[in-house]
Every structure is written in structure tokens, then in C-alpha cells.
Amino acid sequence: MRNRRDWTRESLAAGVRAGDKRALARAISLVEDSDPLAYDVVRDLYPETGRAYAIGVTGPPGVGKSSLISALIRHLREQQRTIGVISVDPSSPFSQGALLGDRIRLADHFLDPEVFIRSMGTRGHLGGLAEAALQALLVLDAAGKELVFLETVGAGQSEVEVIGIADTIVLVLMPGSGDSVQALKAGIMEIPDVIAINKMDHPAAKTMMSEVRSILSL
């Protein structure tokens, strides 16, 4: 097993192209740390990018974004698709480390060799995505991941950054959630291509669906 100091520009790029999870993890860590080696590696990998389909998943905290992604991964793996996930978590204001709660909900897929899941901290970056998310997407793209999910921190007007990265935007809402109601009022409805309402067995689900349809008809 390679020591973290053993990677060179050439071996790291080769490892990413081969889909080596250790190389992927190392490359993304370097990107997060703004290491000069990361930009050299991404530059080398860039000709192999442009094939992955990026799906941005946004919505208020606690509405089930990670649970929805997990279910979609299960469905896509039945079709033998290769998957990457960049799950952006809020950072601790003290350590700048990510509060990696979303990984727990995706635990069913950790051992799948064709699924790579990475949590990234925002490190104070506004806009809903970590500053290094685009470079991380390029790394996963070069590794041959066919679909890459980009999960944002939450929903709000600051979350529109995902538009510039993802091919399709999914907004996740949940009935009975005050944050979901606020999201409907905050202009977030202009962002998504798909709106998913979780927990449709909730008594307020039909009301929320009617509100969404009403806003979309304006």
C-alpha cells in the first residue's frame, strides 16, 4: 500500500485513471488542501474528463437528500452504472473539518468497488458547495464515474452555485418542514430541473405538492 508521501504526479494521475480508490482519495485531499500537486494532476487528467453526468442535489437540512441519493445509487448499480458522490458538509468553525453526517446514510455503498463517496467540508465557502467541488468532480470524471452526485449543504439563495457545475439539479423537500416552506419562498424554485418531495405518506404531503405546483404555474 502506498504511503501518502509516495504519490508522484504521474503515479497519482495513473491511479485515478485506473479508478484506484486510494488514488482518488489522495487526489481529492490534495485538491481540498489547494496543494500545487493537485492542480498539476487535474491538468493531466483534464483530457479524460467530460463524460460524467453531474447531478446536483439540494434542499434544506434534514429533508432526506442523502437517503434519496442512497436509493438512487442502489437503482443505478442494478444497471451496472459507476457512481461518484461528493457530499458537502458544513465545516466546524474551530477545526475547519467537515461534520461528516451524510456518510452514515450512504454506508450501504462503502464496500462497492464501483461507488466512490467523499464528504467535503465547506471550510467557510459560501454557495452550498466546497470550493474544491469542481476539481473533485473532474477527478471522479477522469476515473470513469458515469454519474456523480453533488450534494449541497442546504437550500437557500446562496445554493445557486451548483447550477454552474451540475447537468441536472434536484431539489428535495419534505412536508411538515418549516425549512422546506421557506425554501419555496426564497426563490430556490427557479433552480431545479426536478423537485422531489420525500415522505409522501405524511399528512401534509398533498398540501406541499399543491403549493409546489402553484408556484411553478406562476
Residue-wise pLDDT for 129-148, tens only, equals 566 888 999 999 999 999 99
Q: Per-residue confidence at 191, pLDDT binned at 50, 70, 90? A: confident
What is the model's pLDDT at position 96?
42
The phi-psi region of residue 112 (left if phi > 0; otherwise alpha if psi is between -120 and 50; otherwise beta) is beta
Residue 107: what pLDDT? Answer: 74
* Mean of pLDDT values over 67-74: 94
Entry pTM: 0.85
Question: Which helix (H) or strand (E) covers residue 54, if one does?
Answer: strand 53-58
Q: Please state the separation of Cα 138 from the chain's center in Å.
A: 13
CA-based max dimension of the chain: 58
Give the pLDDT score at 152: 84
The pLDDT of 189-203, averaged and rounded, is 87
Average pLDDT over residues 63-73: 91
Asked if 127 and 158 touch (Cβ cutoff 8 Å), the reply is: yes
Q: 30-49, pLDDT tens digit by residue?
A: 998 889 999 999 999 999 99
pLDDT score, position 49: 96
Q: Is the per-residue pLDDT at 183 higher than 70? A: no
Domains belonging to the chain, first-starting first, are 9-217 (3.40.50.300)
SS3 124: coil
Percent of the chain with pLDDT over 90: 44
